[in-house]
Structure 1
Amino acid sequence: MRARLARVRRRAGFSLRLRLMLGAAALAVLFMLALLPVLQRAFVFALEQSIEKRLASDASTLISAARIVDGRLTMPDKLPDEEFDNLEARQLGFIYDSEGTLIWQSHSSRDENVDYTPRYDGGRHDFSRAWAQSGREFFVYDVEIDLLRGQAAAYSVITMQPVSDYQSMHDGFMRQLYLWLAVALLVLLGLLWFGLTWGFRGLRRLTAELDQVEAGERNALSEEHPRELLRLTGSLNRLLESERQQRERYRHSLDDLAHSLKTPLSVLQGVSENLAGRSANPEQAQILQRQIERMSQQIGYQLQRASLRKSGLVRHRARLAPLLDLLCEALDKVYRDKRVRVERVFDAQLEVPIEQGALLELLGNLLENAYRLCLGSIRVSAIEQAGFCELSVEDDGPGVPVDQRARILQRGERLDTQHEGQGIGTAVVKDIIESFGGELLLEDSGLGGAAFRVRLPRS
């Protein structure tokens, strides 16, 4: 059960802003991953268009240098573009006739055997790729001409350039693209976090006001919240007011009940005492007195049990040291013959997560039992740990037999019916602790007697 509650708390403590941020970050990453191939294709398309224009310009250079002499195509020994004349150049040039026969090639293409044969089909131009026997890939621009300087002509003018010339440009662009997309993603996430932080100001203000309500510092939530939260704050205010009114009515009803029962019980008590003094059967009068006393105890127990309940929304905290001083001062007078020494092992500023009246009743019952049963020493200790506060009351008395502890701490058991003289104090203590979501443990004390340990959740 504790492990399940811990898991629920961990899930409940997971920030809504963080959840939205993680969702937005996941969508942003998916968007960037989807955008990456689109940008890559756009760059490749633009690059190929630039290469096509460059090769078309080179083809125009070859066409402008060509001549028709006696019906045959002739090319000058020296071309305007030196790239075609340099053996180590990367720019290749070819001219084919309409039958697909190579009739001219540039000096730069002497050492390259490219697997490409044009088809003269009357088309205008074609941009494609081809592979050379050396394994290199080339961009190919093929343009067909029908007229050359006013004379009929049927040739395919082809220019080529290695793909590897642009690979470094492509790789550099991709590196820059990855870098800028990563920077853009970080900037976007930062803006998202800032936007969510700004947008959640209303929720943080509402959380702060709820903390103040739980701490008892304010009675209701304000109306200075975003419109989307006003219905929630209104419902919480109505719930707070309804709980406050119900609690007041409950207290008033209990006070009226206690007052209405006090007088009849006092009258019955007086009658029983008169009967005990004059009756010929004193045993019957004693039975009547015990039953009246039992009724008084049960009424007191039920009133205490009903009134000391945890509030549904308000989170109470009470300082331990002042209440312990008050109780010890009263009990020292009652048990002055014992001269009880009370050892305190806790921080003087420690606060127990429980309503002050409930803590006074709980601690009073435990201390009264300890004072009555101890030999002379009592130890009150308290520590705060992760998730709970533990309060212990120990004594050096006879303790509680191990075989009786389970029955004492079992829900519904009453010590007044199990052990004479114990009264109903421990039953009240257990009910108070359970109403605040805590637990009561009974162990052996290092002082030699019993140790009652109370564990209360901190929230």
Structure 2
Amino acid sequence: MIRSLRVRLMLAAFVLALLFMLALLPALQKAFSLALQESIEKRLASDVTTLISAARIENNRLEMPELLPDEKFNLPDSRLLGYIYDREGNLVWRSRATAEENINYTPRYDGRGSEFARIHQGNGEEFFVYDVEVKLLGGKSAAFSIVALQPVREYKQTLDGLREKLYLGFSAALLVLLLLLWAGLTWSLRSLRQLSVELDDVESGARDGLSGEHPRELLRLTHSLNRLLRSEREQRGRYRDSLDDLAHSLKTPLAVLQGVSESMAQRREDREQARVLQAQIERMSQQIDYQLQRASLRKSGLVRHRVQLQPLLDSLCSTLAKVYRDKTVHVSFAVPAGAVVPMEQGALLELLGNLLENAYRLCLAQVRISLLTHNGSLELCIEDDGPGVPPDQRERILQRGERLDRQYPGQGIGLAVVKDIIDSYDATLTLDDSPLGGAAFRIRFPFE
């Protein structure tokens, strides 16, 4: 499928121009043929006039001079053929050029005056014939058919030459037309290229909307896109505000419940109920955090983000090194300088925070982070030398609330948040065994 609009238009223009020229060629060839035949007829009529002016009647006999005014009739190798027949169709005179010709022609002395025709000979030869009936010669009564002939092959050679030139001319004209069309389309599509550049700027965050400096036919599209962009920004702003309000409104009731559970825990008979209450409060808090993160990190539909990876990794690893200061963790990087990831910064920070926290918590001493291209996609890999994930458990731990490690508190929503973020960016998450001995979390982003 052809995806270029310019190529589509050029192909359509080429096909239409070619069809037009193919339809025009026969008409032009016919016009050239008729014009050439008309020219031949006029020339043969002129030759017949030459013969008539040279003919004389003496004693009721036709007399022709030895040398005619038109010397072409006098040359034996000339292709100008002249004949004179009487009323009964008997040949009474022929030009010198007819000495080697044996033409089978019978004039029609039927009162038509003159006739231009095309005759065929038994040997396949064709001739144009101009036949004039003459009743007076030099003021004396006469009855003759004066005929001038010309071989058709000369006409065909001329027509073939004209046709060849016509084909060459049309080919050159078609090439010039296509070049002009390409230049015209390039100029006409500049507005679409400008629109594409502005859309790239919008996606990269360099501008907030499209300008109004576009052709009238595109203004409705640009206005609609600007309305959509404004609506999206306003909706995302309202969404964030609502989420912030929800988080603040839930924080106080949860704090009150936490205080009640701590008071209950001080009474021996209520410790079991307090433990259950605290566990449920923690579960509620984590579930609220999960739902807020899941909603607020949804990818924008129109704005395409690019975030440098290494600064985020440095910040997160510095923070986690302080959290796990009792464990010596060596972190190695295989990230190209200036490498970017096609995600919003908040979403990428949440994703890396969960995966690196798991790696720091479960590793023995090593964590490796790499970014590379693989099979037409961008792959981010986080590995550790911990216990790894059994193959039969890898699908389960990505589900919300599922955990393999029970030594630490939590509800197992970290990887579920990671999975939701990855899904919202059309990426994929796979779990493999790492050469370090533990788990390898591989995130693949499609190239945009």
Structure 1 and Structure 2 fold alike (TM over 0.5) = yes
Structure 1: which 4+ aligned runs deviate by more than 6 Å?
none
User: Structure 1: any 5+ residue segments left out of the alignment?
Assistant: 1-10
Match of 1:5 in 2: none
User: Which amino acid is 1:347 matched to?
Assistant: P
Shift of residue 151, structure 1, vs aligned partner: 2.4
Secondary structure (helix, strand or coil) at the match of 2:170 reads: helix
User: Which amino acid is 2:229 matched to?
Assistant: L
Question: Does the 8 Å CA contact 1:318/1:353 hold for their aligned counterparts?
Answer: yes
Identity %: 64
Selected match of 1:339 from 328, 333, 343 = 328
**Matches of 1:298 and 1:418, distance apart in 2:** 18
Task: State the TM-score, normalizing by the size of structure 1.
Answer: 0.93
Selected match of 1:87 from 76, 86, 103 = 76
Task: Identify if the C-alpha distance between structure 1 residues 98 and 426 changes in structure 2 by more than 3 Å, giving closer, same or farther.
Answer: same
Question: Does the 8 Å CA contact 2:397/2:403 hold for their aligned counterparts?
Answer: no
Shift of residue 382, structure 1, vs aligned partner: 0.9
Match of 1:16 in 2: 5
Selected match of 2:226 from 218, 234, 237 = 237
What's the CA shift string for 1:324-352, capped at 9, x where partnerless?
Answer: 00100000111122211111112120110
Match of 2:429 in 1: 440
**Matches of 1:351 and 1:449, distance apart in 2:** 26
1:54-69 correspondence runs (5 A): 54-69=43-58
User: Which amino acid is 1:140 matched to?
Assistant: V
**Matches of 2:99 and 2:45, distance apart in 1:** 21
User: Structure 2: any 5+ residue segments left out of the alignment?
Assistant: none
**Matches of 2:404 and 2:320, distance apart in 1:** 25
**Matches of 1:278 and 1:168, distance apart in 2:** 121
Shift of residue 178, structure 1, vs aligned partner: 1.7
What's the CA shift string for 1:114-150, capped at 9, x where partnerless?
Answer: 2322212211322222233443222211122222222
**Matches of 1:153 and 1:250, distance apart in 2:** 113
Shift of residue 419, structure 1, vs aligned partner: 5.3
- Once the two structures are overlaid, the 10-residue window that deviates more, 430-439 or 295-304, is 430-439
Question: Does the 8 Å CA contact 1:353/1:389 hold for their aligned counterparts?
Answer: no
Question: Does the 8 Å CA contact 1:91/1:108 hold for their aligned counterparts?
Answer: yes
Shift of residue 72, structure 1, vs aligned partner: 2.7
Selected match of 1:205 from 194, 199, 221 = 194
1:387-402 correspondence runs (5 A): 388-402=377-391
Selected match of 1:72 from 35, 40, 61 = 61
Match of 2:28 in 1: 39
Shift of residue 200, structure 1, vs aligned partner: 1.1
What's the CA shift string for 1:348-384, capped at 9, x where partnerless?
Answer: 2011011111100011111111111111111111124
**Matches of 1:397 and 1:125, distance apart in 2:** 113
Shift of residue 386, structure 1, vs aligned partner: 6.9
Question: Does the 8 Å CA contact 2:45/2:130 hold for their aligned counterparts?
Answer: yes
User: Which amino acid is 2:5 matched to?
Assistant: L
Task: Identify if the C-alpha distance between structure 1 residues 279 and 152 changes in structure 2 by more than 3 Å, giving closer, same or farther.
Answer: farther
Shift of residue 417, structure 1, vs aligned partner: 5.6
- Once the two structures are overlaid, the 10-residue window that deviates more, 358-367 or 69-78, is 69-78
**Matches of 2:69 and 2:104, distance apart in 1:** 27
User: Which amino acid is 2:260 matched to?
Assistant: V
**Matches of 2:259 and 2:295, distance apart in 1:** 28
User: Which amino acid is 1:30 matched to?
Assistant: L
- Once the two structures are overlaid, the 10-residue window that deviates more, 127-136 or 231-240, is 127-136
Secondary structure (helix, strand or coil) at the match of 1:400 reads: coil
User: Which amino acid is 2:85 matched to?
Assistant: Y
Match of 2:318 in 1: 329
Selected match of 1:414 from 389, 400, 403 = 400
RMSD: 1.7
Shift of residue 38, structure 1, vs aligned partner: 2.0
- Once the two structures are overlaid, the 10-residue window that deviates more, 266-275 or 325-334, is 266-275
Question: Does the 8 Å CA contact 1:345/1:381 hold for their aligned counterparts?
Answer: yes
**Matches of 1:137 and 1:224, distance apart in 2:** 69
Shift of residue 50, structure 1, vs aligned partner: 1.6
Selected match of 2:371 from 344, 361, 382 = 382
Match of 1:277 in 2: 266
Selected match of 2:246 from 241, 252, 257 = 257
What's the CA shift string for 1:260-304, capped at 9, x where partnerless?
Answer: 101111111111111112140422211111011000000000000
- Once the two structures are overlaid, the 10-residue window that deviates more, 435-444 or 207-216, is 435-444
Shift of residue 64, structure 1, vs aligned partner: 0.8
Task: State the TM-score, normalizing by the size of structure 2.
Answer: 0.95
What's the CA shift string for 1:383-428, capped at 9, x where partnerless?
Answer: 245753211111111111111123334xxx2244665346211100
Secondary structure (helix, strand or coil) at the match of 1:390 reads: strand
Question: Does the 8 Å CA contact 1:442/1:451 hold for their aligned counterparts?
Answer: yes
Shift of residue 109, structure 1, vs aligned partner: 1.3
- Once the two structures are overlaid, the 10-residue window that deviates more, 193-202 or 296-305, is 193-202
Question: Does the 8 Å CA contact 2:396/2:402 hold for their aligned counterparts?
Answer: no
Secondary structure (helix, strand or coil) at the match of 1:175 reads: helix
Selected match of 2:280 from 291, 302, 324 = 291
